[in-house]
Structure 1
Amino acid sequence: MREISPTQNWLLIAFGLALSGMIYSLLFYPNGSLFIGAVFALFTGMPILAFERRILLRPLHRRIEKLPTLSFILASIIVYEVIMSAGYALAGLFLSALGLLDRASWVEVLVLPFEVFLYALGVCALIIFVLRVRDLLGRDVFTSMLISRYRNPVEEERVFLFIDLADSTAFAEKYGDLRAQQFLHALFAAFAEPVRRHHGSIDDYVGDAAIVTWPLARGVRHARCVRCIFDILDEIEADADVWRKNFGQVPQLRAALHGGVIITAEIGVDHHKITYFGDTVNTTARLESLCKALDRTVLISADLAQRIPLPGSVVAEDLGNHAVKGRGQEVGVIALKKRLVSAQPRARKRMRMAAE
């Protein structure tokens, strides 16, 4: 499946918004300019979508999300109205500066008409709904279901990353199941951005573990699957004080990477799901269970490691072959860790600067 970059994704959204503005012009202003309709649609719609995608006014979005349902809906409508009105006014000023608007007064140029607000709200709601469904299912799963790619089973190569929270049972016993669920919710939310940044897809959450997957060619390119787990670990470490403040401890993770041939199929009748079958998935799960026995944070199969040009910031340690439960033969296991940066070069640099 061809990879769609974030830039291409936003260009498609912008095209859809511009097209909706042209349609509005055709329906209500048949003698008007399609370009003007497209500009107004872009200026009113793109900020809303940026707000929904947590690019614009992120702190405000987080506050609104915590509100009860009715308050959330009312607050969202108010925010939409303000953002759309600001966008509409900017579009009016932009088009007026170009000499493309022939309006009777500045009020018509700057004030968002109610019918335009309703139309723009409807278009944005439709786009947001599609994006939310895509986020719920996962980007790749949503596209695959849309085109029925896996209606019939398909053999393909994929990379799997299993990430497990260590000592989750002890946390639940100490703080209770509700607090443990809140801890997991915050942890899985922290996974989202690194996975998205490295073009992966969170396939499932199983208890206190998350399963991330890539088509093999995409996952090994630029060592994305390896960079993804270390970005997750780095972000958790960077926010250590916040984790301690909110939950009393910093999450300790165990992770395993493996790739190979699997069978991908869409299953279910009332509830559809794309699932993966084969030894590759089971081996990844067994590798993750080895992390505790071998006292390592990140393990990768030797087979997959041979196909990945590891980043310079990552050090590989060959742990030899190990028997894996449920598998007839041993698996080559390699531990990955961040390369320690020596403080000596930095110290010498500071001494040179002081001498100068």
Structure 2
Amino acid sequence: MRMTKGNLSKTDTFKPMTFPLFGFINKRRSRIIRFYCIGWTLAFIFLSIVRGVGTVELGNIQLSFEISLLIAFTMGPIVGFISGGAQILTEERIYKHVSIRRLLLINLLYFYLFIMVVVLISYGIFTLYLDLNINITSFAFDRGSFAIYFYVIVVDLLLATLRQVNLMLGEGKLGGLLRGKFYTPREEKRIFMFLDLQASTELAERLGHVNYSMLLQDCFNDLGIALKNEAEIYQYVGDEAVLTWNLNEGLQNENCLRAYYNFTALLEKNGDLYQKKYNCKPIFKAGLHSGIVTVTEVGKYKKEIAYHGDTINTAARIQGQCNALKSELLLSEKLKKELASTNFTYTPMGSIPLKGKKENVVIYAVRENSTS
């Protein structure tokens, strides 16, 4: 819950996206679960090696190295699934929807509950593989257990930190960066969408820079719904956002178009909240283009995965024509031909000269069919 100024109510918050946590496991959620399952399995294997090679257990429970590894491979996916589910819950239902103080309290409660769950799972698995003759209380407070609890908390914090780094770089980019995938520039076929907030200068002057920044925060939080359409949020530049798709994923089910309309539908759904908090209903206009781009790692002291190429410039220029052509969504003729969609209506806007382009670009306005 955020504290606000002026005409903003202290109790006003934006509801997070309403789809259920495990109502469906999409690509993004499965990637998170897989990351945590692998991370926790490796962490438990590391613990088995450290405690099982050339060391003696201090507690009453003695494990052979082989049994310790078996337990690690059993516990890793289970704990990873729980930890990954908690991360999904945090990203989709909690983060940016509570105050920092309340978020810290939630984190403390989470660590307490998480340790309890780990103890219960451990006791069950140890009972499965060993002939334990102690109760769960003695098991939980066995000599040396608190060092393991500390290790579990540190691992969970490390995985959460790596998850945040992954989000900063872009979904799924961290692994490629560590493998050196982006060290040498390479070409990809992609779709780019540039989204721009209408009347942004007027809104910034009226709201002031703090409240205007909060407006953008809420808008870009709602933009997360585009991930349901396989979008990758590439950049935020001021009041502008850039989405991109692998060409095939963007064309499939018209994801690159549906992402825009799902986003605008969510803005409309939250319209009363925006009106109450900011005395406006935000409208975003967008331009799309497809083509070959180069992707590479740039920067020495601040690394970023960057896309370069005329495709990006053209998409930006097409978006810049939205006001002049009085259209909320424009796309190039090239992308239109690749889509071959029957769920949208395309209106030719002519061959338009774009800044920096030697030849004119044929542009179409897009409108969603009511039956789509």
TM-score range for the pair, normalised by the shorter chain length? 0.7 to 0.9
Kept in 2, the 8 Å contact 1:93–1:110? The answer is: no
1:320 is aligned to: 350
**Cα RMSD (Å) of the superposition?**
3.0
Q: Could you say if the C-alpha distance between residues 205 and 19 of structure 1 is closer, same or farther in structure 2, counting changes exceeding 3 Å?
A: closer
Gaps of 5+ in 1: 343-356
Structure 2: how far apart are the matches of 1:288 and 1:20?
A: 47
Q: Does 1:235 align with 2:266?
A: yes
Structure 2: how far apart are the matches of 1:330 and 1:204?
A: 27
Q: Does 1:66 align with 2:96?
A: no
- Cα drift, residue 311 of structure 1: 6.1
- Cα drift, residue 103 of structure 1: 3.9
Work out which of the residue numbers 22, 44, 47 in structure 2 matches 1:24: 47
Q: Does 1:48 align with 2:64?
A: no
2:18 is aligned to: none
- Cα drift, residue 85 of structure 1: 0.8
Deviation by residue 1:165-211 (Cα, 9 ceiling, x = unmatched): 001111111111111111011111111232x3233322211121001
Kept in 2, the 8 Å contact 1:222–1:309? The answer is: no
2:6 is aligned to: none
2:30 is aligned to: 7
Structure 1: how far apart are the matches of 2:171 and 2:350?
A: 36
**3-state secondary structure, aligned to 1:333:** strand
Structure 2: how far apart are the matches of 1:87 and 1:309?
A: 51
Letter in structure 1 aligned against 2:338: R
- Cα drift, residue 152 of structure 1: 2.9
Work out which of the residue numbers 281, 284, 290 in structure 2 matches 1:259: 290
Q: Could you say if the C-alpha distance between residues 62 and 325 of structure 1 is closer, same or farther in structure 2, counting changes exceeding 3 Å?
A: closer
Kept in 1, the 8 Å contact 2:289–2:335? The answer is: yes
Kept in 2, the 8 Å contact 1:257–1:301? The answer is: yes
Segment drifting more, 123-132 vs 237-246:
237-246
Work out which of the residue numbers 113, 131, 134 in structure 1 matches 2:166: 134
Gaps of 5+ in 2: 1-26, 52-56
Name the TM-score, length of structure 1 as normaliser.
0.81
Alignment of 1:161-240 (within 5 A): 161-194=193-226, 196-240=227-271
Q: Does 1:78 align with 2:109?
A: yes
Structure 1: how far apart are the matches of 2:83 and 2:175?
A: 23
Segment drifting more, 250-259 vs 144-153:
144-153
Bigger RCO of structures 1 and 2 (CA < 8 A, at least 6 apart): 2
Q: Which has the higher helix share?
A: 1
Structure 2: how far apart are the matches of 1:150 and 1:34?
A: 34
Q: Could you say if the C-alpha distance between residues 84 and 335 of structure 1 is closer, same or farther in structure 2, counting changes exceeding 3 Å?
A: farther
Deviation by residue 1:136-189 (Cα, 9 ceiling, x = unmatched): 111254344323333333233221100000011111111111111110111111
Percent of counterpart pairs with the same letter?
Answer: 23
Name the TM-score, length of structure 2 as normaliser.
0.78
Kept in 1, the 8 Å contact 2:32–2:88? The answer is: no
Q: Could you say if the C-alpha distance between residues 103 and 247 of structure 1 is closer, same or farther in structure 2, counting changes exceeding 3 Å?
A: farther
Structure 1: how far apart are the matches of 2:319 and 2:256?
A: 15
Letter in structure 2 aligned against 1:225: C
Structure 1: how far apart are the matches of 2:326 and 2:183?
A: 41
Work out which of the residue numbers 122, 132, 137 in structure 1 matches 2:154: 122
Structure 2: how far apart are the matches of 1:111 and 1:336?
A: 64
Deviation by residue 1:274-333 (Cα, 9 ceiling, x = unmatched): 333322111111110111111111111110111114363x32222232222221211111
Structure 1: how far apart are the matches of 2:47 and 2:84?
A: 19
Structure 1: how far apart are the matches of 2:164 and 2:284?
A: 28
